[in-house]
Structures are given as C-alpha cells and as structure tokens.
Amino acid sequence: MEKLITILDIDPEAMRNAEAIWSLVEHRAVDVIGDFYASVRKSDVDLVLSDQTIECLTIEQRMHWNSLFRSRFDQKYFNSASLIGIKHREIGLDAKWYIAGYTKIKIDFSQVVLNAPLSLPVKAGFVSTLDKYVALDMALAVSSYTSWLVD
C-alpha cells in the first residue's frame, strides 16, 4: 500500500483535501449510492438485490467512503478495502462491474465537488485528490480479486 500511496502522490495536502471532500459529499452520499443501486437494478448485471440488501449495502458503502476519505491508511483500512474485493469475488461479481460501479459513484462525487461554491483551483485539487483516493481504494480491492486467482 505504501508504494501505491507514493506513486499516487498522496501527501499531507491530499489527506487534508480528502477530509474536505468528504465534508462536501457526505450529505449527498446516500443519494449517490442510492442512484448507483437504482442503475444496477436497471442494468444487465447478474445481481438480484432486495430492498433490504440495498439498504444494508448503502450503509456499508457510506461507512466505507467515510473510512476512505478519513483514512490514514493503516492496517485496518487496508484489510477493509481488501475485504471488499474478496466479498465481490465470493458473490461472483466480475471485477469489470466493480470498476464500472465505483467509477459511476466517483463521477457523481466529482459533480458534487464541481458544483460546490469553491474556486476553480480548489475544485481542481479536490478532483485530483478524489482520483487518487479512488485509484488507491480500487487497486486494493481489485488486487484481492487477482491474488485469489493466482493463489
């Protein structure tokens, strides 16, 4: 994980930005995640999700996003991010659907940032940080898929 943090240039400024991003998107997170699950239900993804399952997943996702943006990238966070990939692999979700879904949520969070009353340079920094954090989180989860295939 340290190498990913280094290559993505997640420095103290990015960490401060991440907390500020969460402050902006936190109030919209449930709506963004709800929109995501609505699109999953309309899509051709081979998942049948009950309302109760979606409710539980929405809570878990919100907690995960909170954990990501407030993360200090310790072992607890690493285990949590890796477990997401393991759970998705266990239910048979192809990694392409995970990546597409994660990207959809990232785009929606980016829109919240871009619509915020902030200066253009601040928005640009926040979107850059959002990309870094999503890439790190996604890399950890997807590596769980691939490490299982290799093991």
Q: What is the pLDDT along the chain (151 residues), one digit of tens a residue?
A: 889 999 999 999 999 999 999 999 999 998 998 888 888 777 766 566 677 877 888 888 898 899 899 977 888 888 888 887 777 777 767 777 788 888 999 999 999 999 999 999 999 999 999 999 999 998 888 887 766 544 4
Distance CA(111)–CA(82), nearest Å, equals 27
On whether the CB atoms of residues 37 and 54 are closer than 8 A, the answer is yes
CATH number of this structure's domain 2-150: 1.10.490.10
Kindly report whether the global pTM for this prediction surpasses the value 0.75.
yes
Distance of CA 88 to the CA centre of its chain: 14
On whether the CB atoms of residues 45 and 32 are closer than 8 A, the answer is no
pLDDT at 45: 63
* Largest Cα span, the chain: 48
Place of tokens 């990546």: 99
User: What are the b/e assignments for 114-127, b being 16+ CB within 10 Å?
Assistant: eeeeeeeeebebbb
Residues in contact with 135: Cβ distance below 8 Å, sequence separation at least 6, in sequence order? 4, 8
Place of tokens 């699950």: 37
Place of tokens 């072992």: 75
On whether the CB atoms of residues 132 and 14 are closer than 8 A, the answer is yes
pLDDT at 48: 63
Q: Is 90 exposed, middle or buried (0-12, 13-18, 19+ CB in 10 A)?
A: exposed
Distance CA(109)–CA(19), nearest Å, equals 13
